Amino acid sequence: MTQKPNPARALPAAKWVPILDAAGLTPQAFADAKTPHARAIKIGQWLSAKVGRETPVHVGGRNGTAVLRVIGARANEKRYYFEVTWDSAAPAALPPPPKGEPSKTKKKPKQNEKHKAKARPSAKHKHKAGNDEAW
């Protein structure tokens, strides 16, 4: 099962600086950059070299593979994100419902069932005009 890419979650290299710092993945070459812009350029160069590489991931009891992807943005900016493909095994937190018991999910009405006109009463049961209240 692959997550669909979400361009809104892709980040430019400058936004990856605190993420990589928190993960302890910033080599000394990044720390030697004198300005934040120079640091963002160095991280962009480092990320560009890693695009397309697969790496195993383990999150919350699930195993999968993460691949660094890049999309182009305006002004020749590159935005990076991870495309995660989870292994076929479902997480242990959500077991399937037992056989013989109905599932608890509600059935959605079909589009044409939603707006069907109500059936008219048969000729046997003629109603008076208006509601059935006694005046």
Per-residue pLDDT tens over the stretch 63-103? 999 999 999 888 888 999 988 888 876 555 555 556 665 55
Per-residue pLDDT tens over the stretch 107-133? 565 655 555 555 555 555 555 565 666
For tokens 């013989």, what's the residue?
100
pLDDT given at position 90: 54
Residue 87 corresponds to which tokens in the numbers above? 């292994």
Query: Is 63 within a domain?
Result: yes
Query: Is 121 within a domain?
Result: no
Domain range for 20 is 7-86
Per-residue pLDDT tens over the stretch 27-40? 777 778 888 888 88
Number of domains in the chain: 1
Instruction: Measure the CA–CA gap between 92 and 79, rounded to whole angstroms.
Output: 34
Give the long-range contacts of residues 84-91, CB within 8 A, separation 24 or more: 84/2, 84/3, 84/57, 85/1, 85/2, 85/3, 86/1, 86/2, 86/62, 87/62, 87/63, 88/1, 89/62, 89/63, 91/60, 91/61, 91/62
Q: Tell me how many degrees the CA angle 103-62-100 measures, rounded to the nearest 5.
A: 20
